[in-house]
Amino acid sequence: MKAYLTREYIFSASHRLHADGLSDEQNSSVYGKCNNPHGHGHNYSLEVTVSGQVSPETGMVCNLVDLDEAVQHTVLQRFDHRNLNMLADFAALVPTTENLTEAIYNILKQSFHSAHLEKVRIEETSKNSFEYAGGETPCR
């Protein structure tokens, strides 16, 4: 009786891909136009998947209001309408969407306990998406 629930959130942010450990030439070679000075930005589509037993009483895996609150307070307020490079999360990490996906997974793993967090998926553009499921295989 285990069901899976996925909910989508949208946020907008800017970033510049630049690794401190690489030379300017290497950065330009590795990241291409994503290394342009002054950065650029995206509308990120964030999908959070949780799972659990369907409650016989309410018919729900968990209340979406609880999930929305956790995502709002711990994720969206932190990343929406921000320059990712200026955040503490990316002081020592390049703000690629791979790293952003893992950061959000870890934040939600700590802040949301009403259902089991299965995975986090971020669409950076309509052509690229990234998923992270902790150490587990992100079955869905």
Determine whether 15 is exposed, middle or buried from the number of CB atoms within 10 Å of its CB (0-12, 13-18, 19+): buried
Contacting positions for its own copies (CB under 8 A): 1-8, 10, 12-15, 17, 19, 21-22, 30, 32-34, 36, 38-43, 54, 57-61, 63-65, 80-83, 85-86, 93-96, 98-99, 101-102, 125-132, 135, 137-140
**Is the Cβ of residue 83 or residue 111 nearer to its own copies in the bound state?**
83
In the complex, least distance from residue 111 CB atom to its own copies, rounded to whole angstroms: 20
What CA–CA distance (Å, rounded) separates 46 from 130? Answer: 10
Catalytic residues: 34, 81, 124
Cβ–Cβ contacts within 10 Å for residue 139, how many? 10
